[in-house]
Structure 1
Amino acid sequence: MVALDARTRADRLASDVSEGILRGDFAPGDRLDEHTLAERYGVSRTPVREALRQLASSGLVEVRPRRGAVVASVTPARLAELFGAMAELEATCARLSAIGMTPVERRGLQEFHASMAAFVEINDTEGFAAANLGFHTRIYAGAHNAPLAEIASGLRQRLLPYRRAQFRTPGRLPRSHAEHGQVVEAILAADAGAAHATMLHHVSLVEESFERLAERRAIRTS
């Protein structure tokens, strides 16, 4: 239980720091000192170290010799490349899921998607974001291609802070849930082409939602 609580604190801290980076509280090149972060967020240095490791794996933070952890500089062009790669990988997973998911897996995906409506109804962005990870993970598994699932999961980890942030765009939760519904419908119908197209469209809208959010934040802080 102690280890689980520590991991939960680290996960929450990683989310808070990533939100701060995306909001502009920490600028590219800023040093992220463990002691300062621990004091700022009211935690010990142990979850800070774990949170920084998570952020380094996502690309938001770089660990540099003699400087420690610093905020990385991610260009819009680089981010577009990452989202483009993510869209293609997720679309391929959806296509393969439409072909190869078992009846049990299809029912599980359908039920899981239906359960996410509860988060939409109360506008619970954190709950929806956590469930969203589970939704996409089910599609990775349903592709029944371990190397592809591993690559998709790794790239998703890199983009996780950006994908979580886009849920703060007004009206994004119901739109995301509806897009998921189109993907689920195609998979249940074993329509590989539609599954690929709807997932590709969904991830492209994720990128657009994050871009709109970033633009509004830039206007507010300029």
Structure 2
Amino acid sequence: MTGLNLGRGAGGSPVLAPGQHAVKLERSVYSGRVTSILREAIIEGELGAGDPLVEARLAEQLSVSRGPVRNALHALEGEGLVRTQPNGRTVVVGFGPEDLEDLTGVRFELEAAAIRRGCERRADVAPIQEAFAAFEEEGASTQRLVDLDIEFHLRLLELSGSRFLTQAWLALAPVIHTVITIGNRRLTERDPEQNFDRIVAAHRPLVAAIAKHDARRATALLAKQFDVTTSMFSTDLG
């Protein structure tokens, strides 16, 4: 973990009311923060495959107690980013270009299945159109744009009417969100206006195809969108 900058976003305690519920909230806030920091460090490659993750050391680096670190490592193990060895030590699994392709491939299968189901049942597309409108209204490559992107694709899953399909996608959502955050940040640094225009242009025909319940065209557009995204991020990740 030499040179790892784990201090991002870790300073400053939230203002909380006294009492047991406040303590639980504080732990939850810290756990979420630690999880986000470590997840991004793994996906960006600051933490590489095989790197040890020691609770006490991480707690000291992040200025938190060991509880939030323990909770974060448990969450990250559930996401497949870390693993606990037989000796009880936790190490980084890593995240490289092949993992990005795997993630994108699984994400495509889930979203394409949702589109096909939604088009077959001629589901109401208004939520998707509204999500895209919010996307356009943002007008720039901001961090909020990433959140709106995730919201848009969640609406795609809900189009299916399947709660289990949606839950399967939600299990991947934290990793998807972090990958998009990193890629959006890097592409925005190069050319923010072009990046925003590219994202909107990739989503507009997809919305139009879904509005017509044209599953074949919609899934083809989705595949093209993901291929471009993967090729762009693969040059930076891993």
Structure 1 length-normalised TM? 0.79
Q: Which residue of 1 aligns with 2:74?
A: 53
1:169 aligns with 2:186: yes
CA distance in 2 between counterparts of 1:119 and 1:9 reads 29
Deviates more, 1:1-10 or 1:166-175: 1-10
User: How much has 1:166 moved relative to structure 2?
Assistant: 2.1
CA distance in 2 between counterparts of 1:116 and 1:15 reads 23
User: How much has 1:20 moved relative to structure 2?
Assistant: 1.7
1:186 aligns with 2:186: no
CA distance in 2 between counterparts of 1:194 and 1:5 reads 47
Q: Which residue of 2 aligns with 1:85?
A: 106
Q: Which residue of 2 aligns with 1:219?
A: none
Q: 2:152 aligns with which of 125, 132, 135?
A: 135
Contact 2:45–2:95 (CA under 8 A) maintained in structure 1:
no
User: How much has 1:8 moved relative to structure 2?
Assistant: 3.9
**Structure 1, unaligned stretches of length 5 or more?**
216-222
CA distance in 2 between counterparts of 1:100 and 1:169 reads 39
CA distance in 2 between counterparts of 1:5 and 1:177 reads 37
User: How much has 1:101 moved relative to structure 2?
Assistant: 5.3
Q: Which residue of 2 aligns with 1:152?
A: 169
Larger radius of gyration: 2
Q: Which structure carries more relative contact order (alpha carbon 8 Å, separation 6+)?
A: 1
CA distance in 2 between counterparts of 1:116 and 1:64 reads 42
User: How much has 1:142 moved relative to structure 2?
Assistant: 0.9
Contact 1:32–1:71 (CA under 8 A) maintained in structure 2:
yes
Alignment of 1:198-213 (within 5 A): 198-213=221-236
CA distance in 2 between counterparts of 1:47 and 1:177 reads 37
1:214 aligns with 2:226: no
Contact 1:169–1:210 (CA under 8 A) maintained in structure 2:
no
Deviates more, 1:147-156 or 1:89-98: 147-156
Q: Summarize deviations over 1:73-122 as a string: whole Å, max 9, x none.
A: 4564454234223222212212322333543xx2222112211235452x
CA distance in 2 between counterparts of 1:78 and 1:23 reads 12
Alignment of 1:62-101 (within 5 A): 62-74=83-95, 76-100=97-121
User: How much has 1:61 moved relative to structure 2?
Assistant: 0.9
CA distance in 1 between counterparts of 2:106 and 2:32 reads 25
Q: Which residue of 2 aligns with 1:220?
A: none
Give the RMSD, CA atoms, in angstroms: 2.7
Q: 1:188–1:109: structure 2 CA closer, same or farther, 3 Å change rule?
A: same
Greater share of helix:
1
Q: 1:214–1:30: structure 2 CA closer, same or farther, 3 Å change rule?
A: same
Q: 1:124 aligns with which of 128, 139, 142?
A: 142
Q: Which residue of 2 aligns with 1:195?
A: 218
CA distance in 1 between counterparts of 2:138 and 2:74 reads 29
Q: Which residue of 2 aligns with 1:108?
A: 127
Contact 2:43–2:95 (CA under 8 A) maintained in structure 1:
no
Q: Which residue of 1 aligns with 2:65?
A: 44
CA distance in 2 between counterparts of 1:179 and 1:5 reads 40
Residue correspondences, number = 211
CA distance in 2 between counterparts of 1:36 and 1:20 reads 16
